[in-house]
Structures are given as C-alpha cells and as structure tokens.
Amino acid sequence: MTAPLKVGLAGLGTVGASVVRLIEGDRDALTARCGRAVEVVAACARDPKKDRGIDTSKLRWFDDPKKLAVDPGIDVFVELMGGDGDPAKAAVEAALRAKKSVVTANKALLAKHGLELAALAEENYVALNFEAAAAGAIPIVKTLREGLSGNTIARVYGILNGTCNYILTRMEQEKLSFADCLKDAQRLGYAEADPTFDVEGFDTAQKLSLLASLAFGTKADESAVYVEGISSISPADLEAAEELGYRIKLLGVAVRTEHGIEQRVHPTMVPKDSAIAQVMGVTNAVTVDVDGFAPLTLVGPGAGGAATAASVVADIGDIARGVRTHPFGRKTSDLSAAGKAPMQRHEGGYYIRLMAVDKPGTAATIATRLAEQQISMESIVQRHRGTKGGADAKSASGPVPVILITYATTEDAVRQAIDAVKRDKVISGEPQLIRIEKNR
C-alpha cells in the first residue's frame, strides 16, 4: 500500500486550521480520490498552545519555518504565512531545493517572486501549486493551466476582491457613500483597518498578474498592471450606471491586443445582463473569453478559511495523485516579459461625468473638443438640479451634471479631450471617467 503523503504546515491561523480540519474530516474520501492517505504531521506557528479548535497534540512543532521546510519527515510544505519576503520566501525556497513540493496561498509572494520560485520547482522536479492565491475557492488556476490548455484565450477578467465588491454592492443597493460603506465593511471584518491595499486595487493587481501569466504565458509581474481603485466612485455614478443599463464593478482585466497583453485594474461598467454583473457582496467571479465558444464564468467565495482551505487541499490532493505540471502552465524559460501596455492605447467605450458650467456655449464647447479627438457619442444625459442624480449640483446657479457615454475610442483621445475641456474652463472640479467592458 502506498505510504501516506505527509504534510508540513507553516501558518496555523484561520486558513491553516481549516486545512487541518478539512483533511481530518474528509480523510476517507480524500484517500479514495487520491489513491493514498494525506496526513498533516508537522506545523510551525507563533503560539503552539493556542486553542485553534483542532487537535494539534500529534503534530511535531517547529519554531523556524525553514527547518520545517527541509524536514525529512514531510513530503509537502504548505506555506500560509503570507508576505512577499522572508520568512515565507526563504522557507519556500528551502523546501523546493530540498525537493519537496510546495502549496501556497500567498499571492504577494508569487506576484513578486513567482518566476524564480517556479524555475526552482522545475529544476528540482517538484510541484509549486497556488490555486488558493487567486479567487479563493474558485478553481481558476487549474482551469487556465490545465482545463483550457488546448484553447486560445482572448480575455480573462473578474471580480477578485470581495471587499470592493461588497462596498460597491452596498453603495448601489442602499444609496450610501463610499466612506459610509467602508466604515461598515471594517466593522464587519470585510476590510482592514488600513484598507488601501484592497480599495485602491493592489490586491486585485497581484491576483491578475498570476491569471495573466497562466492565460497568456507572460511573466507574473504586478508592476505591469495599470491600477485604479474605487474610492472616487460616488452614488451619482452608480445611479447613472443603473439608468444606462450597467453596473459598476472593480475588475481585473487581462486581454490580448495588437499592442501586446494589456493588464488593468479599475472600476468598470459592465452590462447588467452579463453574468459578472450579477455577482454581489463579497463573492468573487472570473470570466474567460475563449476562441470557439461562449465566455466561461466561474463564481464562488473568494476568501475565508473554508474557501481558501478547499483550494489548498485540492492542490495537496494533486500532489498525492502524482500530478505535477509547470507552475505557470509552461516552462518558465518560455514565459514572455509582461511589459506594461500603455493605457493611452486602450480602446473601448467610456462613461464621463462632467460638472458643466451653466452658461451659453458650454455644451457646444464640450462637443467640439470631443469631435476634435474623433470621439463619437452613444448618449448624452444632462441632469437637472434637485432631482435624481442631482447630489452633485451645488446650488441653483451651480454647475450641471452632464453624463457622456462614448462609442469605442482610445484612452489617449478621451484624456486629450477632457484636458482641452478643462482648459476651456467650462467644467467645475475633476471629471469622473469609468471604462466600459462590453460582452463579447
């Protein structure tokens, strides 16, 4: 009979404890699926005596994750400590050099050092699995790396941060401001005390860099991603989106263009009839546009102990079955440089909200500046003061909200037109610009 696969676990917080609980609770089913038993035999955590709701009496304890990583008594090293540097990086490197397969949920580590760690795994003929690093329980890594390995992918995009999706959902449904929703998200534990990493799009960017690598064969590089957050979104934008048949989501988008692979994170208007527009609250979703058939959308919990642990255990199960593939779907040496595609070349439709000065000639000036950049308008909506959407109107003599929806154009053209309008002094304040992501 095949010997059990012995697991060493570094990090025994919410996710780590859930991994132990899942392996212990589904022991027989996991053995049947994998063809061998899986056992957690050792762990490394700050406080071995802490009550985690699991039986840890049989585990061997280590103070140093690097020592656990190279321990001859384990076959697989599971890294759940987090962080893009040491001790996580040093421990993972040590495990790979000791020819032990690694499972990690650490998106920050992979976004920054994924290329060198993948090369180290290939050099030592071991696995580096990271399903839990992007979109929690959604099996998007396996889908891109293995399930769609014979298909050409045109675009992958998704809601990859539950905090932002929760905030936008509450803002839309309850007509609340961003600040009020953020405070509530912090109270409920959906947002950190310092929410910058989530709400300004950096968490999504790290996850997107991994998905882009798997989809398009680029080197995972978060610095190649254009990033905008959701802090500028107002109730007026959400109301306008509703009236125009859209919903606003923070999306991570990686798409193949004639200029290369474009990677971007920003608030996006998506058609309300699209699958991704229906995803509300803290739920995540990823849509893959594949040549030859309709878009494929996967939806599920993107965070939390049970959801993340499910993906970690699935990765451990692959190793138990003897499944090993290139971490990013192809040889590390074959991955191409990600290169930050200039947003000026991005092509698509745009939502533009301006606070237009109420005086003769303002509308004509705006129209002229757009026409100079060859921007065609799909619709123009002028709000009335004191009515729905009028929250931006300052007074009876103040500026008037004007909403423009463009047909496909370039980012550069839109920016140049807006800059010209600002120089003409026919608008007040900073214009709001939101990109529109159409169905294909």
Catalytic residues: 207
Residue 141 Cα distances to 138, 272, 344, 360, 383, angstroms: 8, 27, 30, 56, 45
Can you tell me whether residue 18 is helix, strand or coil? helix
Hey, CA dihedral for 422, 427, 432, 433, is it positive or negative? Answer: negative
Residue 438 burial (CB count, 10 A): 11
**Strand pairing partners for 336?**
218
Residue showing tokens 């298909």: 151
List alpha helices for 219-374, DSSP H.
Answer: 235-244, 305-320, 362-372
Polymer length in residues for the chain:
440
Please state, in angstroms and rounded to a whole number, the distance separating the CA atoms of residues 188 and 379.
39
Task: Give the up-direction half-sphere exposure of residue 402: CA atoms within 13 A in the CB hemisphere.
Answer: 24
DSSP state letter for 378: E
The pair of three-digit structure tokens given for residue 350, joined into one six-digit string: 């745009």
**Side chain identity, residue 90:** A
> For residues 154 and 439, is the Cβ–Cβ distance under 8 A?
no
Region of 314 on the Ramachandran plot (φ > 0 left; ψ -120 to 50 alpha; else beta)? alpha
The pair of three-digit structure tokens given for residue 186, joined into one six-digit string: 């912090």
Please state, in angstroms and rounded to a whole number, the distance separating the CA atoms of residues 412 and 373.
9
Residues 6+ away with beta carbon under 8 Å from 43: 8, 9, 10, 12, 16, 56, 59, 60, 61, 62, 68
The pair of three-digit structure tokens given for residue 210, joined into one six-digit string: 């991994």
